[in-house]
Structure 1
């Protein structure tokens, strides 16, 4: 079953269970997926769906930090609930050691020699690690590895 089909089934289950919080989040996700399909005239693959979910998770994290900074814990809690629903669709996160291993392999593959080659290394890592690691953290690991190279 594709990720898109899984999301549709989860939406039906949330409707049956009258789980309004979960249902609302899944509806937001399906709306974003439909929007991408219509805009780009494509059939979404799991990679496309993961990219959409990743973007929505990033938005939720930004919102949570803004709401907490503004003293609006009620709104931050709503965003946290949506974040939990969206995170359930993501593959398991890679550990720091696994990320370092992937970075070392990418550096060896591209022959990167210094910080000026960071774009090459990130270009190899992004499709491989998308959805499985926070790309900001990956970027920091790459920068560290290339500055010592």
Structure 2
């Protein structure tokens, strides 16, 4: 089942269940997908492009969550946490810490990185491998740890 079909099915279920928060998040994702489709000239989105859009939406909410927590806006924090949980249901399963460590170490040896100067080279090689399966900031920390 494609992401689009899954979203349509979940949207119908959310309507039946009168789950306004889930319905809102699904509509937002569908809107983002449609906007991207229009931007690319109405061609069908690949799985990779859909994953990129989902990742972008998730990252925006995580960034907002940090801002709202810092500002003490507990009402908005709860709402965003719910949205993040719903969005994560559509993301691929996240890699474990051990799997990430292994990918980081193998990529560092692949690109012959020796110092923090090679950080960009390592990150650009790793990101396509873990797209949607790991948080970029977490990977960044691991790469820095191994290159120092």
Q: Flag whether TM exceeds 0.5 (same fold).
A: yes
Say which is worse superposed, 73-82 or 110-119, in terms of deviation.
Answer: 110-119
* Contact kept in structure 2, 1:4 and 1:49, CA below 8 Å: no
Q: Per-residue deviation at 1:80? A: 1.2
Q: Per-residue deviation at 1:4? A: 2.5
Residue equivalent to 1:124: 125
Residue equivalent to 1:97: 98
Q: Per-residue deviation at 1:11? A: 1.4
Matched, 1:3 2:14: no
Cα distance between partner residues in 2 of 1:128 and 1:87 = 19
In the superposition, relative to structure 1, how do residues 68 and 113 fare at CA in structure 2: closer, same or farther (>3 Å)?
A: closer
Q: Deviations over 1:100-142 (max 9, x none)?
A: 1001111122222222222221111111101111111101111
Residue equivalent to 1:107: 108
Q: Which runs of 5+ in 2 are unaligned?
A: none
Residue equivalent to 2:28: 28
Q: Which runs of 5+ in 1 are unaligned?
A: none
Q: Per-residue deviation at 1:69? A: 2.3
Say which is worse superposed, 23-32 or 84-93, in terms of deviation.
Answer: 84-93
Cα distance between partner residues in 2 of 1:6 and 1:108 = 39
> Where does 1:1-149 land on structure 2 (aligned, <5 Å)?
1-41=1-41, 42-147=43-148
* Contact kept in structure 2, 1:4 and 1:46, CA below 8 Å: no
* TM-score, scaled relative to structure 1: 0.90
Q: Deviations over 1:73-120 (max 9, x none)?
A: 112111111111101111122121111100111112222222222222
